Structure 1
Amino acid sequence: MSFALPAISYDYTALEPYIDAMTMQIHHTKHHGTYVNNLNGAIQGEHGGSLKGLSLEAICRNVHSAPDAIRATVRNNGGGHWNHTFFWTIMAPSGTSSSAPNGALKGAIESSFGSVDAFKEQFNKAAAGRFGSGWAWLCMDQSKKLFITSTPNQDNPLMANVADQPGLPILGLDVWEHAYYLKYQNRRPEYIAAWWNVVNWDSVAKYYDEATSGKAPVLEVPLQ
């Protein structure tokens, strides 16, 4: 068995005008698809025996112990597969999910950052300030407090022996240029500001509830 590219639950056009259809199609089929194919190649190759049968989450959590010959490939592509599988689920067409955090999630954000607006400002800084390619994240730590961090390339906070600040992600933003360049060119802050219009706060609330139980986001990761 090997990993398969997951479907997105909405059309490529559904996030317009904030994220354009061409970007979504290329991002999903080409970029995410390549991560899946490269991860499968590494696991199915001569050095991947210890990784066969592991879940995608387990691969990310244990990437530091992957065989030397494929560790970089697994780190980049296992992270890329998990990050994007997660990313598609925390976006939704504008107006189809809660327009802002509420309930326990809102309370946790206000407790950690003072207000939702202050949280967004700090998150925006992390996303805009990530040099080169990478991600910005809202996570829960072991004390169940929320924090913001960023990671380079396709690393994520599940990679405890890799990430500067490990934790359970509940929200993440892809700031690789391929996520926004067709529409926003070099205007990353404009992309970040527009992205808030398509955040699926219902999914984020679900992942927050899972994190309070000590679980990483429960994602549908198809196999073939």
Structure 2
Amino acid sequence: MENSRYPFQLEPLPYSYDALSPNIDETTLHFHHDKHLQTYVDNLNKALEPYPQFQDWTLERLCADYGSLPPQAATGVRNNAGGVYNHQLYFRCMTGDKNSPSPRMERELNRCFGSLEEFQKQLKAAALARFGSGWAYLVQDPKGDFKILSTANQDTPLPQGLRPLLLVDVWEHAYYLQYQNRRAEYLDQWFPLIDWRVVEYNAFQNGIAR
């Protein structure tokens, strides 16, 4: 995902459309993945089409360094590269195969937040506090510490030098078909879907965390 380049393509879901049901239903997944994410992919390709000098940039670099692009291209790339990156990570970090943090992952969560329950409490609070559209993240700083933050719209933590490990989408299109305005209920149903195997890979693939 992070190393994909222009022309970008829609990444298939890593599970069937009914795999997350009843927490996230099949209709929502079709709409969210096939319509919303596809639009971001298409618009990112359109934004880069006039700029061959940036077409070899990876998705991660586009998100992190969009400020280096010409002003007339930067906003479109910022919004749409972020939309592709955020959504692909969001879908990757869920599974219908319920699992728990490994001892190593749980140790890091305990070190940084005190407990798994406190981590969930803080992430939910960040997601509920995000006014309007955006995301809540578990990120890793350059020292290997875990932190929670939220971003608006399709911004990512990458320009801040932070590695996203896990995120939850709080744009209304992520949950409104099923939960209407009940964001808190959606979040409670999302937590059991976390694929901790993916989160752990994101955290430890470069040996940053202890």
Q: TM-score range by the shorter chain?
A: over 0.9
Structure 1's unaligned 5+ residue stretches are 161-165, 215-224
SS at match of 1:70: helix
* 1:220 aligned partner: none
User: Is 2:64 the counterpart of 1:55?
Assistant: no
Task: Tell me which residue corresponds to 1:109.
Answer: 109
Is 2:142 aligned against 1:137? no
Q: What letter corresponds to residue 5 of structure 1 in structure 2?
A: L
Pair 1:171-2:169 in alignment = no
Deviation string, structure 1 residues 127-174 (Cα, Å, up to 9, x no partner): 1110000000001111111100000001111123xxxxx411111001
One-letter identity of the residue aligned with 1:20: D
Q: What stretches of structure 1 move > 6 A for 4+ residues in a row?
A: none
Shift of 1:49: 3.0
Map 1:62-73 onto structure 2 (within 5 A). 62-73=65-76
User: Superposed, which structure 2 residues align to 1:117-132 within 5 Å?
Assistant: 117-132=117-132
Aligned to 1:69, what secondary structure does the other structure show? helix
Kindly provide the amino acid, as one letter, of the partner of residue 70 in structure 1.
Answer: A
**Would the aligned equivalents of 2:94 and 2:195 in 1 still touch at CA under 8 Å?**
yes
SS in 1 for 2:8: coil
TM-score when normalising by structure 2: 0.93
Q: What's 1:183 paired with? A: 178
Specify the SS of the correspondent of 2:9. Answer: coil
Question: For 1:212 and 1:128, how far apart are their aligned partners in 2?
Answer: 32
> In the alignment, which residue of structure 1 is the partner of 2:90?
87
**Percent identity (aligned):** 40
Query: What code does the residue aligned with 2:113 have?
Result: F
C-alpha separation in 2, matches of 1:66 and 1:186: 37
Say whether the 8 Å CA contact 1:133–1:153 is kept in structure 2. Answer: yes
Which amino acid counterpart does residue 35 of structure 1 have in structure 2? Y
Aligned with residue 9 of structure 2, among 4, 9, 33 = 4
Which residue identity does 2:127 align to in structure 1? A
Give the 3-state SS of the residue equivalent to 1:17 in structure 2: coil
Q: Which amino acid aligns with 2:101?
A: P
Root-mean-square deviation (Å): 1.3
* Residues 95 and 194 in structure 2, CA contact (< 8 A), matched pair in contact too: yes
- Tell me by how many angstroms 1:213 deviates: 3.9
Which runs of structure 2 are paired with 1:31-50 in the superposition (5 Å)?
A: 31-45=36-50, 48-50=51-53
Q: Which residue of 2 aligns with 1:199?
A: 194
What is the alpha-carbon distance in structure 2 between the residues aligned to residue 203 and residue 155 of structure 1? Answer: 21
Count of residues paired in the alignment: 204
Give the drift of 1:97: 4.5
Instruction: Please state how far the C-alpha of 1:12 moved relative to its aligned partner.
Output: 1.1
| 2:74 pairs with 1:74 | no
